Amino acid sequence: MKLRAARRRKQTIFRRVVVGLIGLFFALPLLAMVEFTTRAPGGGRTLQTWTTLFNLAAIDANYPELKTGIQASAGLVLLTVAIMLVMLVPTMTWIRLRVPGMRRLVEFICLLPLTIPAIVLVVGLAPVYAWVAYFLGESSLWLAFAYVVLVLPYAYRALDAGLSAIDVKTLAEAARSLGAGWPTVMWRIILPNMRTAVLSASFLSVALVLGEFTIANLFSRENLQVAINQLGKRDDSLATAAALAALILAFIVLFAMSFVGAARGSHRPEEN
Amino acid sequence: MGALLGVLPFLAYTTIFLMIPTLIVVVGAFVNGKGRPTLGNLSALAQPQIVSAFMNSLLLSAVTAVLGAVFGALLAYAVSTARQSGPLRRMITSVCGVLAQFGGVTLAFAFGATVGLQGFLTLWLQKVGINLAGSTWLYEPNKGLMLVYTYFQIPLMLIVFLPAVEGLRPQWREAAESLGGSTWDYWRHVGGPILAPSFIGAMLLLFTNAFSAYATAAALISQGSPIIPLQIGDTFSSEVILGQENVGKAMALGMVAIVAVVMTLYVVLERRTSRWLAR
């Protein structure tokens, strides 16, 4: 017991030192962003930059690129999550129910983007997007097609974990034997039972789309990160504030997600 | 047969937006501007600026993978000694999730505000007589970029490595202690060997992460293209020299080849790891 207590004390000191030092390395650039965005012209502090950032009318009038970027990213978030869920949830459920032989192939395809850097994907997507522009127009919104590919590995893992936790087959057969059609099975049986997995897949997608820069920039489309980058050439302070605000937004999304995961644990204590 | 139809939309979508792009890169690397087969794109990779970009990328990825792995592992172990669902752990994993995924443009601004010309640290150091502002070190691949990349590698290491550290059972430690082993003995003979495969595996993952990264460097560097993702990006914007239309695809293929080798090693290691850490 004495050994254990001594070790616990040592571990606590070790934890404080390591978390403190590495934490300092992480905090410094973020604090520098706060410091940089609150500088007043003659020295001293001002909140001018931040009031401008949250003043919609001023953004609309003076920084139209930021407004288009925010709008585009909001649309991209919705469209990416929608396509991802509509495509993956029924496919993955269907595979478990009817064609288990396809599971390896689908898993392979979903994890493939991990080995293909986004910059490589851009090279290959250029001709594909020439067709997308031809059929659907030049809107930034269509970047969502590529973003779905980027989120595939993360979404697949989250949804797969959710599906493994429920007995899809029994649930579906029970519903079918009571006369439910496939859409009812999906919408009223499968989806409600894997709410947590759907939420975490969606949250991950939201964070990824909010931070995406590579594809949008190289295809000369608008999104939040591209707008912030452009803004940096004109108003460094406002761009830094916008970048920090987007980072905090993404943090809130992921922090909320950590509670969703915890809620699952407390409902199903028997699971490991 | 009817059951297969249910998978068709997924296969169609991934064919258009994943398989075809991949094929375009692979095939494009071996054809010229007129669609004739050629090895010219591959031999164009021997141009000095492309070779040096590959070298810079490899060095940058290797160094930041090692730095990120070492510091990330320390952090992961420190966090694992805290209470399982306590506030510290939840806070740190969420922060790391954001910083690992959300690099890019944000980091360029963060480091600009810290050590850029008008940066907080630059101005502060000037007062004590150290001048950072005179040089372009922040924009060089083997100095500033390494610092910035390490900033997103450490959080990724925490996320990847934390489950492995949590797999260490307290009983092993107690067993080592009851046999008279010291902390050093425990890490040397029990903890270290068990964690080694996951540690190296995570390091490989960090390597591919840095190697693939485009956004951070693109937002930070405005002159020149010292690393390979920026070289590929250039083929989009600048005028391409006649006969070299597909050199970008050859570079992309080179990147995929390197990432594929590293990921294969990763998968092999992952299998070894699961032997001990499976619950």
Contact A218 B252 (CB under 8 A): no
Tell me if A219 sits within 8 A of B109, measured CB to CB: no
* Bridge partners for A45 per DSSP: A39
| Averaged pLDDT, B196-211 | 90
> Is B173 a residue whose pLDDT tops 70?
yes
CATH architecture classification, A64-267: Orthogonal Bundle (1.10)
A39 contacts: CB under 8 Å, gap ≥ 6 = A45, A46, A237
| Angle in degrees, 0-180, between the axes of helices B144-166 and B247-277, rounded to the nearest 10 | 30
Give φ, ψ of A130 to 5 degrees: -60, -40
Q: Which residues of B touch A117 (CB under 8 A)?
A: 208, 211-212, 214, 229, 255-256, 259
pLDDT of residue B241: 62
Q: Which residues of A touch B255 (CB under 8 A)?
A: 117, 119-120
Question: Does the beta carbon of B92 lie under 8 angstroms from any beta carbon of chain A?
Answer: yes
Taking the CA of residue B28 and the nearest CA in chain A, the distance in Å comes to 9
Where exactly are the structural domains of chain A? 2-37, 64-267
Tell me if A183 sits within 8 A of A62, measured CB to CB: no
Compute CA distances B174 → A39, A203, B181, B195, B267, whole Å. Answer: 54, 40, 9, 17, 32
**Domain B60-228+258-277 coded CATH 1.10.3720.10:** yes
Three-class DSSP category at B149: helix
Question: Does the beta carbon of B14 lie under 8 angstroms from any beta carbon of chain A?
Answer: yes
Residue type, A122: V
Q: Please measure the distance between the N-terminal and C-terminal CA atoms of chain A and give it in whole angstroms.
A: 28
**How many contacts does A have with B, using Cβ atoms within 8 A?**
242
pLDDT of residue B242: 56
Query: Which pLDDT tens digit goes with each residue over B111-153?
Result: 888 887 777 888 888 777 777 666 666 666 667 889 999 999 9
Q: In chain A, whose CA is at the least distance from the CA of B98?
A: A251
Total residue count of chain A as it appears in this document: 272
CB atoms < 10 A from the CB of B109, how many?
31
Taking the CA of residue A220 and the nearest CA in chain B, the distance in Å comes to 10
Q: Which residues of A touch B107 (CB under 8 A)?
A: 29
Task: Name the E strands within chain B.
Answer: none
Contact A115 B263 (CB under 8 A): yes
Q: Which residues of A touch B64 (CB under 8 A)?
A: none
Query: Which pLDDT tens digit goes with each residue over B41-58?
Result: 888 888 888 899 999 999
Helices (H), A38-63: 48-53, 56-62
Tell me if B225 sits within 8 A of B233, measured CB to CB: yes
Per-residue pLDDT of chain A (272 residues; tens, 9 = 90+): 566 777 778 888 888 898 899 989 888 999 989 988 888 877 778 888 888 888 888 888 888 888 899 999 999 999 999 999 999 999 999 998 888 888 899 999 998 888 888 999 999 998 899 899 889 988 889 999 999 999 999 899 889 988 888 888 899 889 989 988 888 888 888 888 888 888 888 888 888 898 899 999 999 888 999 999 998 888 888 999 999 998 998 888 878 777 775 554 444 433 33
Tell me if A123 sits within 8 A of B232, measured CB to CB: yes
